[in-house]
Amino acid sequence: MESINAADTAWVMVSAALVLLMTPGLALFYGGMVRAKSALNMIMMSFTALGVVTITWITLGYSLAFGASTWGLVGDLRNIGLVDAIDQTVGAEGHKIPMLAFVMFQLTFAVVTTALLSGAIADRTKFGAWILFAVVWSLVVYAPIAHWAFSFQDGSGGWIGDRLGALDFAGGTAVEINSGASALALALVVGKRMGFRRDPMRPHSLPLVLLGAGLLWFGWLGFNAGSALAATGTAAVALINTQVAAAGAALSWIAYEKVRDGKATTLGVASGAVSGLVAITPACGFVTPLGALAIGLAAGVVCAWAVGQKYRLGFDDSLDVVGVHGIGGLVGMVGIGLLAATVANSAGADGLLYGGGFALLGKQLIASAATAAYAFVATWIIALVILRTVGFRVAPEDEIAGLDTTQHAESAYDLAGVAGGGVLGGAHPFGNQRTPREEDYR
């Protein structure tokens, strides 16, 4: 521990805190997108992911993801329970950080990726079934794919990064394509919401959506730039590229809306920013700022188009995890194959448009396809087993009533009380609008 770099350690720990904030941000983003009767349930699914995945990660998940590799597919159990991690370090020579700082940073990735999947099955899922799914999925699907892309053990890394040679700076495969493919499988197994394509299912609180998107944008700076694992020039490249891509995608999404529908929407600008953040995640450390702008502009348009396809294809991905994260992650991975430049990162490679030929693009497509295939099949099996055993969906009458009351015995808004005798009902809470006194609150 005497060899640790204090600046790098501080940067990774701050980045971990930023990424942790993304999950409450996602809770608000998703909570505002559902109908009012299920807002608390949606927020609850994200918050419970914080608890569930923290426990699975420290007990077994971290070791599966970052232990010494078995055929490049999954880590061994040397770090189970983090028993030997307290006095260990990780990182390149001169940039060593405590292993526990790295464990915490990667824990926040596992948490937010699991929480993302709740958006595919909003408004219709048993809360207990979601908890069970989060436990199994974080270990069986997320941890192995994280090992493929992120493993750092000397000479024994995962096959995507160390053997295939594909580039993924911060999780285009493990986080984005993984969550998108898993969300599709989950939505297909659980089935459509009652009234899908018939009843209005508009977001009940766009201010919450925008607040959540803002927190996601803020936290994503740590998500991407922190993945350098050091306070270096590469981290600075990732930082500016993250901002540029998000800005470009936010604007291109609403431009697409304006052309298609005649109006630019607040939901569009929030979704566009997130799509840009998703797309730049794998590429942020390997492209120039102009490359990041191109990826962001492309992501805004492509993801806006992709989100609409669920109605044509007939699958109910409630909050657009497939269209934003799955397709956005693919845009970023392909973007590396086209726009990666060694001038941005000498440890990377040159893409097709920088004279590198088709080799890198091919590797990016192989990594993307393999991740999507494993995530889809494994998630399908997990979800189907839960559906056939404990059940995944709530009863029809509970879905109609709303999950806040039926699953949690709570309500996000006391609308009946306000309308029945409060300001909306015509009566002032203190009678004739007098100044409240102490006894009014007893």
Q: In which band, very low, low, confident or very high, does the pLDDT at 71 lie, cut at 50, 70 and 90?
A: confident
346 CB-contact burial (10 Å; exposed 0-12 / middle 13-18 / buried 19+): exposed
Q: What number is the average pLDDT over the span 74-82? A: 90
The stretch 154-173 carries a mean pLDDT of 86
Going from N- to C-terminal start, the domains of the chain cover: 6-392
pLDDT of 105 above 90? yes
Q: Tokens representing 116?
A: 């993302």
Q: What tokens does 142 get?
A: 């997320």
- Dihedral sign (CA 32, 119, 45, 405): positive
- With a cut of 80, say whether residue 227 has pLDDT above it: yes
- Residue 211: CB atoms within 10 A of its CB come to 17
Cβ atoms 119, 34 nearer than 8 A = no
> In this predicted model, which residue has the larger pLDDT, 147 or 427?
147
Q: How far apart are CA 104 and CA 125, in angstroms?
A: 29
Mean pLDDT value across residues 336-360: 97
Quote the crossing angle between the two packed helices 99-116 and 6-33, to the nearest 10°: 10
Question: What pLDDT, on a 0 to 100 scale, did the predictor assign at position 152?
Answer: 64
Which pLDDT value is given to residue 329? 98
The tokens 């299912």 sit on which residue? 201
Q: What pLDDT does residue 416 have? A: 63
In whole angstroms, give the CA distance from residue 107 to residue 70. 21
Take residue 194 and report the two structure tokens written for it. 């009652």
pLDDT score of 237: 98
| Cα–Cα distance, 251 to 273 (Å, whole number) | 8
Q: How many CB atoms lie within 10 A of CB 131?
A: 14
CA distances from 13 to 64, 222, 284 (A): 22, 10, 20
pLDDT higher than 50, residue 261: yes
Question: Does domain 6-392 bear CATH number 3.40.50.300?
Answer: no
Residues 273-299, buried b or exposed e (16+ Cβ, 10 A)? bbbbbbbbbbbbbbbbeebbbbbbbbb
- Tell me the backbone φ, ψ of residue 393, rounded to 5 degrees: -100, 150
User: Cα Rg for the chain, rounded, in angstroms?
Assistant: 22
Residue 240, classified by CB atoms within 10 Å of its CB into exposed (0-12), middle (13-18) or buried (19+), is middle
Mean per-residue pLDDT of the chain: 92
Q: Are 161 and 148 in contact (CB under 8 A)?
A: yes
